[in-house]
Amino acid sequence: METIYKKVDINEIDLKVLEEAGELLRNGDLVAFPTETVYGLGANALNEQAAAKIYEAKGRPSDNPLIVHVCDEKQVKKVVRSIPDNAKKLMEKFWPGPLTIIFHKADIVPFATTGGLDTVAVRMPDHKVALKLMEVSDMVIAAPSANTSGRPSPTTAMHVKDDLDGKIAMIIDGGEVGIGIESTIVDVTGEIPMILRPGYITRNMLEEVVGQVEIDSAITGPMKEGVKPKAPGMKYKHYAPKADFTIYEGENIRVSQKINERALKCLEEGYKVGIIASDETIANYKYGDVVSIGSRNDELSISKKLYRVLREFDDKNVDYIFGENFESEELGYAIMNRMLKAAGYQVEKV
Ligand code: AMP
Ligand code: MG
């Protein structure tokens, strides 16, 4: 298949491009589009065959459900059975935005979209191109991240092209995304809202709106044998670079020393080494391919660049990645969730 590739200027959206995309979506084809979190791979969420194509193109396990994207309240009502009070409050405060909410699904949503679940994940993205695409196509769009399963999520249209060129009908290039990691997922079907995946919207931000919020145990460490995470996707080794990735925890200066020692040793043994540093620490490193992932004073600069850096290390066939730790109570919590998964929870305290 020849993949159509179209650029759109976010300040002056060419509606013809979106109409063309809408036509493809109506035909049951796949269209990748930008959102504020990462690029999504879209299909008509209410068309079983179209949803099935997403799994095929991504190589995604069929029990890993898709997020349904909407552009207004009318579309939300179409896909959910009811809107609990907590959900109403969260929608009002955070939509459009990087928060996905789990509802009981309406009958119209096929199980192919929900991975066989009786619930449906819904999000209204804060991106003009995405919103306009749903409006123009008059469609709710199922869209997981537009990467090959197991690779870091795409933050540019080029990343999408690298993974899915020839496998999907169209890529809409709307430039680099603003956040760079996937949405926060919160389940409001129980009494106490529960975070199933951390993201830009933090626990504190949610608690200010709905009171106590819990965190699914699947987020806090490696999955234990036999435990079933509430977000099925959390059990897969996501975001994995090809290299052996270790994260170092401790005082910055000691972390840098330790990484320098290990990097030198690996280089002497003939391996390629990539190092994930920050603007504040990059000067500490002497060996290997050293990259600053952003500034510790601006966590958004880090989330925005994380997946790009991991992809670049893949492209360079790096054997070992050594990374600093970016834990915090804000966005750093979600950044570390993704980094720890990428590293297979390989952490060394120094
Ligand atoms: P992606 O869009 O690729 O970031 O993946 C969507 C994520 O949403 C996956 O990790 C799913 O497990 C999660 N998800 C989607 N629908 C549901 C649902 N109904 N219940 C729980 N988690 C869901
Ligand atoms: Mg994904």
**Ligand 1 pocket, residue 67 CB under 6 Å:** yes
The pLDDT of residue 297 is: 96
Pocket test for ligand 1, best of 30, 58, 102, 200 (most atoms within 8 A of CB): 102
- What are the structural domain ranges in the chain? 4-181, 244-349
* Closest alpha carbon to 233 in 28, 67, 38: 67
139 pLDDT above the threshold of 90: yes
CA gap 350, 21 in Å, rounded: 51
Whole-prediction pTM value? 0.95
* Closest alpha carbon to 150 in 311, 333, 303, 312: 311
Q: How far is the CA of 18 from the centre of ligand 1 (A)?
A: 26
Region of 260 on the Ramachandran plot (φ > 0 left; ψ -120 to 50 alpha; else beta): alpha
Q: Which CATH architecture has domain 4-181?
A: Alpha-Beta Complex (3.90)
**One fold for both 4-181 and 244-349?**
no
Instruction: Assess contact for 64 and 232: CB atoms under 8 A.
Output: yes
9 pLDDT above the threshold of 70: yes
233 pLDDT above the threshold of 80: no
Q: How far is the CA of 116 from the centre of ligand 2 (A)?
A: 18
The pLDDT of residue 220 is: 77
Q: Write out the DSSP string of 318-334.
A: -SEEEE-----SSHHHH
Question: For 97-114, what is the mean pLDDT?
Answer: 98
Q: How confident is the model at residue 326 (pLDDT cuts 50, 70, 90)?
A: very high
CA gap 123, 98 in Å, rounded: 8
* Closest alpha carbon to 177 in 194, 158, 202: 158
The pLDDT of residue 236 is: 62
Q: How far is the CA of 189 from the centre of ligand 1 (A)?
A: 15
299 pLDDT above the threshold of 70: yes
The pLDDT of residue 323 is: 98
212 pLDDT above the threshold of 90: yes
Q: Which CATH architecture has domain 244-349?
A: 3-Layer(aba) Sandwich (3.40)
| CA distances (Å), origin 201, targets 42, 87, 129, 205, 213 | 23, 14, 21, 6, 12
